[in-house]
């Protein structure tokens, strides 16, 4: 009996040592980079199928009332966005005219590296994607990544030789400054790690903020230019005893259907 438990103990110890070696290997950059490329190669066909299926499965678990409420919420958001887009377009026209008056040349100085999403990894601790551009293309950590429609997708989290891992805004490691679309000063600090929404902390109590207001980047972060759309205010948490408000922002970047992203390499 005793020899049997000793035998099991030895087996456990050997398994644990082997696993420990593998766990250490899994943290090395060379293994992570190479395996990322290899796994993305075998995962990408399944990711395409998953994109096609999309959120169809969610309908099974939603009640009729929930679906109607969501539809109404989306319609409200569309209306709100249409109003903002109209205001934005008008402001842009005015700016262009003002720049012409001042004699500035049009055009911007940003360098954007287009990258293809090789594979998406939605796991419990983080939502990240592997893109096909890496250190050789000038990608650096903390650079901003945007979608085709201009919404902030995430930040570069890890860089390998030919690939890079982009973490979504909902990742617990992401921290960046945000502001309201109409304002010029930083409103608060955006933090991930709160499920599908991003928490915006340290917002002053007297701030005039409403549900569905658009939050954009404030430009306080060195690699993230100001004015990139982050998302819409989803909930406002107000504690009369606390000096600050807490906002919960729903990111606008489409996760499911995005296949191409742009990595911003210089300020807009």
Partner 1 sequence: MMRFLLHTLLLLTCLAVEYGFIHGLAVPWSLIPLCLAIGVFFVFTLHVDLGLFWFVGVGFVSDLQSMHPVGETLIGALVGGLLIYVVQQHISHSSLYSVMILGGGVSFVWLMSSQVLRLLFGSSATFEFGMILEEVLFAMLLSAVLLLIIPRVQKRVSRTIRLQP
- Give the binding site for partner 1 (CB under 8 A): 8, 11-12, 15-16, 18-20, 22-23, 26-27, 31-32, 35-36, 39, 42-47, 49-51, 53-58, 61, 119-126, 128, 157-158, 165, 167, 171-173, 191, 193-195, 256
227, 186 in Cβ contact below 8 A? no
Q: Smallest gap, in angstroms, from Cβ of residue 37 to partner 1?
A: 11
Backbone angles phi, psi at 33, to 5 degrees: -65, -50
Instruction: For residue 209, give Cα distances in angstroms to 60, 232, 235, 237.
Output: 35, 11, 10, 11
**DSSP string for residues in 187-242:** -EEEEEEETTEEEEEEEETT----TT-EEEE-S-STTS-TT-EEEEEEEEE--TTS
How many angstroms separate the first and last alpha carbons of the chain? 72
Q: Give the list of residues 6+ apart from residue 54 with CB closer than 8 angstroms, or none.
A: 256, 257
Residue 3: CB atoms within 10 A of its CB come to 7
Q: Smallest gap, in angstroms, from Cβ of residue 104 to partner 1?
A: 41
Q: Smallest gap, in angstroms, from Cβ of residue 26 to partner 1?
A: 4
Q: Which is nearer to partner 1, 81 or 189 (CB)?
A: 189
Q: Smallest gap, in angstroms, from Cβ of residue 79 to partner 1?
A: 25
Q: Smallest gap, in angstroms, from Cβ of residue 267 to partner 1?
A: 25
Q: Smallest gap, in angstroms, from Cβ of residue 20 to partner 1?
A: 6
Q: Smallest gap, in angstroms, from Cβ of residue 189 to partner 1?
A: 13
Instruction: For residue 124, give Cα distances in angstroms to 166, 176, 180, 198.
Output: 16, 22, 30, 16
Q: Which is nearer to partner 1, 17 or 82 (CB)?
A: 17
Q: Is the dihedral of CA 134, 137, 141, 145 positive or negative?
A: negative
Backbone angles phi, psi at 232, to 5 degrees: -110, 145
Q: Which is nearer to partner 1, 207 or 234 (CB)?
A: 234
Q: Which is nearer to partner 1, 22 or 82 (CB)?
A: 22
Q: Smallest gap, in angstroms, from Cβ of residue 105 to partner 1?
A: 41
Cα separation of 172 and 192, whole Å?
A: 4
Q: Which is nearer to partner 1, 56 or 109 (CB)?
A: 56
Q: Which is nearer to partner 1, 64 or 124 (CB)?
A: 124
* Dihedral class, residue 149 (left if φ above 0, else alpha if ψ from -120 to 50, else beta): alpha
Q: Which is nearer to partner 1, 17 or 98 (CB)?
A: 17
Cα separation of 188 and 120, whole Å?
A: 29
Q: Which is nearer to partner 1, 22 or 204 (CB)?
A: 22
């Amino acid at each position: 009996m005793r020899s049997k438990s000793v035998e099991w103990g030895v087996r456990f110890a050997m398994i644990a040592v082997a696993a420990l070696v593998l766990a250490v290997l899994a943290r090395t950059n060379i293994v992570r980079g190479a395996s990322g490329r290899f796994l993305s190669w075998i995962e990408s066909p399944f990711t395409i199928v998953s994109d096609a299926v999309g959120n169809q499965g969610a309908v099974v678990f939603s009640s009729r009332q929930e679906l109607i409420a969501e539809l109404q919420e989306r319609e409200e958001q569309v209306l709100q966005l249409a109003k903002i887009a109209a205001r934005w377009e008008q402001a842009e026209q005015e700016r262009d005219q003002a720049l012409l008056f001042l004699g500035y040349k049009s055009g911007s100085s940003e360098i954007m590296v287009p990258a293809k999403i090789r594979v998406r990894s939605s796991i419990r601790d983080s939502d990240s994607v592997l893109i096909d551009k890496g250190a050789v293309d000038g990608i650096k950590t903390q650079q901003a990544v945007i979608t085709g429609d201009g919404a902030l997708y995430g930040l570069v989290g890890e860089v390998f030789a030919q690939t890079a891992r982009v973490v979504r805004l909902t990742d617990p490691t992401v921290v960046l400054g945000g502001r309201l679309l109409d304002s010029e000063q930083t409103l608060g600090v955006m933090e991930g790690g709160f499920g599908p929404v991003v928490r915006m902390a340290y917002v002053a109590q007297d701030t005039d903020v409403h549900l569905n207001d658009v939050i954009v980047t404030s430009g306080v972060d060195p690699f993230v230019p100001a004015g990139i759309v982050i998302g819409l205010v989803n909930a406002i948490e107000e504690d009369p005893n606390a000096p600050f408000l807490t906002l919960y922002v729903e990111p606008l970047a489409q996760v499911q259907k995005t296949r191409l992203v742009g990595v911003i390499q210089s300020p807009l």
